[in-house]
Amino acid sequence: MYLEQLFLSDFRSYGEAEFSPAPHGITVVTGANGAGKTNLIEAVAYLSTLKSLRASPSAALIRAGAPSGSAVLRSRVRHDARLVTVDAELHATGRDRVQVNGQVLRRTRDLLGALQVTVFSPDDLSLVKGPPAGRRSYLDDLLVALQPRRYDLLSELERVLKQRNALLKSALAGRAGGGVGWRPGRPLPDDVKITLDVWDAKLVTVGESLVAARRELVDELQPLVEGAYGSLASGSAAPSRLSTTLAYEVSWSGSLAAALDAARPDDLRRGVTTVGPQRDDVALAIGALPARTHASQGEQRTLALALRLAGHRLLAAALDTPPVLLLDDVFSELDAARADSLMANLPALSETQAIVTTAGELPSGASPAAWFRVEDGKLLV
């Protein structure tokens, strides 16, 4: 699949912009830092997931001072002979409106798959160095891209946790059942106890399905990450530093049901759910040592790239068409050897569309198929 055309109006720094990247190979977008290159990448990624890359609310995506108070994104995506249009109107107040092939989208999951992307960004370093939330989203985003139906599983988990946490807080405040606040050592009012049992049972069902799916994904990713890391790092690393492992770590031991039961007094005291897949992590290791604490910055960057490449390859194989590659200012963070090696390891660019932003040079092996320049909020050919 490839992005044939993108039209932006009042999105981030752009007043109006039209972007037609090359169908295959590298389309380079150059421009000074802060000129708005990342905004272009964000626009493409937004049409893929309806989420901002930088987790900004819709209102923040609208150009400051836009007279209409809204932003418009229109796109044409080519799937072999089939053309899919995805259009989004973002409003500062009120509901955003998304249309696929002219039909108003009722649920986000019905969009997923219209445009698939793999984003490489300098922030990816936090996949290795940052908190577990980033690694969980890495897995969850891939799960949804592989199977849009899983979007429902993730939103169910979010909803169950919100409801359970609300119940825990209201039990503590005494708003639920009997009007007496729960205190440590005291039994729960019957009403609260049965209701909490119900949310626990829901959390167990949803949580166990999600954990099973994440574990399966980690198993599929393991050889791909190891392979990608090996080829990215070969030449620059000692053989003992070439092996990488991913291990899914649940945040409890035994069954989730028993763990929730055991954690209940603690959860009630804190008003928040302390066990479940929302606390899990993926342990990343290089040469059998934890990558977060026992790897150099260069190794960590390479591992982050390997995670993205592995995800991309998994998706390309599962979808029978490679997702669009979005590389946002990635080369500036890499030394020349690593940049060349990333270039050499990108998927076959004869059939993959890659949109690459850079403030400076491209690696020596890059031969772009199209060039654009960003200046003063304008996109120039």
Summarize as ranges the residues that interact with another protein (CB under 8 A): 93-94, 107, 152, 156, 159-160, 162-164, 166-167, 170, 175-177, 191-192, 194-195, 197-199, 201-202
Query: Token pair for residue 64?
Result: 């400051």
Rounded to whole angstroms, the Cα distance separating 218 from 224 reads 10
> Residue 167 is which amino acid?
L
Say which residues have a Cβ less than 8 Å from residue 255's Cβ, sequence separation at least 6: none
Query: Token pair for residue 147?
Result: 């199977």
Q: Which is nearer to another protein, 68 or 332 (CB)?
A: 68
Q: Which is nearer to another protein, 62 or 117 (CB)?
A: 62
Q: Which is nearer to another protein, 93 or 253 (CB)?
A: 93
Q: C-beta of 188: minimal distance to another protein in Å?
A: 12
Q: Which is nearer to another protein, 117 or 161 (CB)?
A: 161
Query: Token pair for residue 245?
Result: 């492992």
| 3-state DSSP assignment of residue 342 | helix
Q: C-beta of 42: minimal distance to another protein in Å?
A: 27
Q: Which is nearer to another protein, 34 or 178 (CB)?
A: 178
Say which residues have a Cβ less than 8 Å from residue 93's Cβ, sequence separation at least 6: 59, 69
Rounded to whole angstroms, the Cα distance separating 262 from 257 reads 9
Q: C-beta of 66: minimal distance to another protein in Å?
A: 18
DSSP 199-246: HHHHHHHHHHHHHHHHHHHHHHHHHHHHHHHHHHHTTTS-GGGS-EEE
Q: C-beta of 194: minimal distance to another protein in Å?
A: 5
Q: Which is nearer to another protein, 164 or 308 (CB)?
A: 164
Rounded to whole angstroms, the Cα distance separating 379 from 120 reads 21
Cα dihedral across residues 260, 265, 267, 271: positive or negative = positive
Q: Which is nearer to another protein, 18 or 158 (CB)?
A: 158
Strand partners, 332: none
Q: Which is nearer to another protein, 107 or 183 (CB)?
A: 107
Query: Token pair for residue 275?
Result: 């066990």
Q: C-beta of 161: minimal distance to another protein in Å?
A: 11
Rounded to whole angstroms, the Cα distance separating 139 from 130 reads 15
Q: Which is nearer to another protein, 111 or 117 (CB)?
A: 111
Q: C-beta of 162: minimal distance to another protein in Å?
A: 6
Instruction: Identify the residue whose tokens are 């763990």.
Output: 259
Contact 36, 13 (CB under 8 A): yes
Rounded to whole angstroms, the Cα distance separating 202 from 196 reads 10
